[in-house]
A and B are shown apart, each in its own frame.
Chain A
Amino acid sequence: MKLSWKCVCAVSLLSIFIAALGIAVKAAGREEGTLAAPTVQVKIDNFAFTPAQLTVAPGTTVEWMNRDDIPHTVVSDDKSTFKSKALDTDDKFSFTFTKPGTYSYFCSVHPKMTGKIIVQ
């Protein structure tokens, strides 16, 4: 059965539309740091958390990876929501954010290092 040109046209348009949507979502994601993936990385290096501010969806796991040549910790400001042990170079710490909200944190060894996870 030969596909009618209308059908092909419709399918092509639909594919282009979906692709465009996908690019738009990815672009938006790159700009705001919103990602659909379940695990997101925060790099620790040069006495800083990068990105310093990160927005994620509820249910996302954030993984901090220490690339610095000095140990750091990841501790929520209230010192109870999440608290890592000492992370030496190449050590990791993960926490899954289920509840929406703003979670400010810092390195308890070098308190000038601060970061924020926004869950929405």
Chain B
Amino acid sequence: MERPGKDELVYDHNHDGVDRRGFLKCMAWAGTGALCLMKAGVLHSASLSGITESAASAKGELSFVQISDSHMGFNKPANQDVVGTLKAAIEKINALPNPPEFLLHTGDISHLSKPEEFDAVEQILRSCVAKDVFYVPGEHDVINDDNAANYLQRFGKGATGMGWRTFEKKGVRFFGLVNVMNLKAGGLGSLGSEQLEWFEKELKPVFASTPIVVFAHIPLWNVYPEWGWGTEDSAQALGYLKRFGSVTVLNGHIHQTMQKVEGQVTFHTAASTAFPQPQPGQAEGPGPMKVPAEQLKQLLGITDVNFVRGQQALAIVDSKLG
């Protein structure tokens, strides 16, 4: 799917500058570890084996990795060694050609919100080349923690409210949102009015040309509401992001990689480092999916993200653990 030397839109049906069909074709490769780079709306891809050359040319000004759903403490048949698979993920990160500056953990750090579970994850992450880790909680991190008090005690530094935060890295503005608090019966993920007001206020002075990265646990688009895979009030948040030229939304929760592009917004969910879950509707419920031992690592993974100045979208690469 190479288009060497040509930066030309082939399928621009939506007239938004995005070669959508080419993108979808590329995303089919992404699961096997392809590098997809968007340059002026056109996709260029290379397999991971050729990544050293692409990485050199695509060497971004900013490189970070997203990991998710480590579920420390989980010990059922789907994976009885979540410590081992998390360590394998860190080894994978440490071996990347472009060492990441920091990590984003999109939640479900622990399995039962237990202190020893959080301790174990922080301990394992200390062996990562990236020393800074920015966390957002998953619903497993705030069980019986009504105001996220316990979570905040550990991960609240620099955060506001119930753990939302914003920071800047090399001209890219990051927003860590929390959509797992005060969930209502029968509902989906929820951002809440306090956080939405804060988000709107923080975005106001930001230039539309500043690339934005939003990370939160539960997907900010309706992947599969029947299984709770969506956020009730995300439309409001996405409304505030409409004027920006480049928005990347990174989520977890569903334990599988999924991607969607809507105009200037790229939505992406990461694989878990603990256990896979079934595809929407492919099982009775969204619980841990048991697979043959030799296949487990192929369904777990990390996400490497690179930002190259001058390019519209961030380059997102999913890598399997095995």
Contact = CB atoms under 8 A, between A and B. Distances in A.
Interface stretch (B85-93, B178-186, B198-206, B306-314): B178-186
B113 interface: yes
Interface string A87-120: 0110000000000000011101111101000000
A86 B144 contact: yes
Given A47-B286, A69-B288, A111 B144 contact: no
Given A69-B77, A109-B140, A110-B139, A77 B287 contact: no
A109 B143 contact: yes
B268 interface: no
Contacts of B140: 71, 109
A114 B185 contact: yes
A26 interface: no
B226 interface: yes
Given A71-B111, A73-B143, A112 B287 contact: no
B285 A48 contact: yes
B188 interface: yes
Contacts of A109: 139-140, 143
Contacts of A47: 227, 284-287
B112 interface: yes
A48 to B, nearest CB: 7
Contacts of A105: 185
Interface in B225-267: 226-228
B85 to A, nearest CB: 17
Nearest to B285: A47
A74 to B, nearest CB: 11
A39 interface: no
A47 B224 CA distance: 15
Interface string A5-20: 0000000000000000
A47 B287 CA distance: 7
Interface in A58-83: 68-71, 73, 77, 83
B76 A111 contact: no
Contacts of B228: 110-112
A83 B143 CA distance: 11
B264 to A, nearest CB: 31
Contact of A112 (B113, B144, B186, B284): B186
B77 A111 contact: no
B158 interface: no
B226 to A, nearest CB: 7
Given A85-B144, A89-B76, A111-B228, A70 B184 contact: no
Interface in B47-104: 76-78
Among B139, B144, B288, max chain A CB count under 10 A is at B144
Contacts of B76: 69-70, 89
Given A69-B287, A86-B144, A111 B187 contact: yes
Interface of B: 76-78, 111-113, 139-140, 143-144, 183-188, 226-228, 284-288
8 contacts: A47-B284, A70-B288, A105-B185, A106-B184, A109-B143, A111-B184, A112-B187, A112-B226
Given A68-B287, A104-B185, A109-B143, 15 more contacts: A47-B227, A47-B287, A69-B77, A71-B112, A77-B185, A83-B144, A86-B113, A86-B143, A108-B143, A110-B228, A111-B185, A111-B187, A111-B228, A112-B188, A112-B227
